[in-house]
Amino acid sequence: MSTRPTALVTGASRGVGAATARALAATHDVLLGGRDADALAALAAELPGATAWPVELTAVTAADVATISSLDVLVHSAGVARLGTLAESTAQQWRETLEVNVVAVAELTRLLLPALRAVGGHVVLVNSGAGITANAGWGSYAASKFALRALADALRAEETGLRVTSVHPGRVDTDMQRAVVAHEGGAYDGSRFLTADSVAAAVLAAVLAGPDAHLTELVLRPTGR
């Protein structure tokens, strides 16, 4: 049986989630959470101590986490970006965005609180610059990220035995960002954005901070270099 600490990363099939799982695998046994079972299995085969944990995060139940008795790190990286002006955004778009970006995060955290409490664990929420500033055309997404920041603040105040970190990256070179730029009608240039590895490094810095350090919020902006 492994004596290494355990981390669960959602959205681990690609992008920031996959990069974070790779970064944590050096020091943790990682549960790879997400919907794409094949992609998760492929990543698990690359990483020592990693296990695929395929699950629909918007429908997670107590049965899905029944075997997780202790959890040192929970990284919420899964999310969706549905863009549009308020005039264009339907109630269904709002519901889908909030369901994935907020409700699913809250419910998985709630279900895993006993496992986190057992070891004084750490919850990391990969948020966004949109969780600090809301811009035109980003209403439902920004609202979900403001709510995610509030969730983190409330969790930190309520669960004083845990560490809770919000990470707010600017634009990141991922498939999601390609879709965003296409929606905006621009030409894609990933070199202008953060890499997923840079965001993962920020998550790792928060996780590996000494026991006397509680990094509550990290903001990353691309240098464009």
Q: Where along the chain do its domains lie? A: 6-219
Helix 91-98 and helix 139-158, axial crossing angle in degrees, nearest 10: 30
- Domain 6-219, CATH among 3.50.50.60, 3.40.50.720, 1.10.10.1110, 3.40.50.150: 3.40.50.720
Check pLDDT > 90 for residue 42. Answer: yes
What is the rounded CA–CA span in Å between residue 182 and residue 178? Answer: 6
| pLDDT at residue 187, as a whole number | 76
Q: Kindly report, residue by residue over 69-113, the tens digit of the pLDDT.
A: 999 999 999 999 989 999 999 999 999 999 999 999 999 999 999
Residue 176 has pLDDT above 80, yes or no: no
As a whole number, the mean pLDDT across the chain is 93
* Catalytic annotation present for 188: no
* Catalytic pick among 53, 141, 146, 193: 141
Q: Is the pLDDT of residue 1 over 70?
A: no
pLDDT of 38 higher than 80: yes
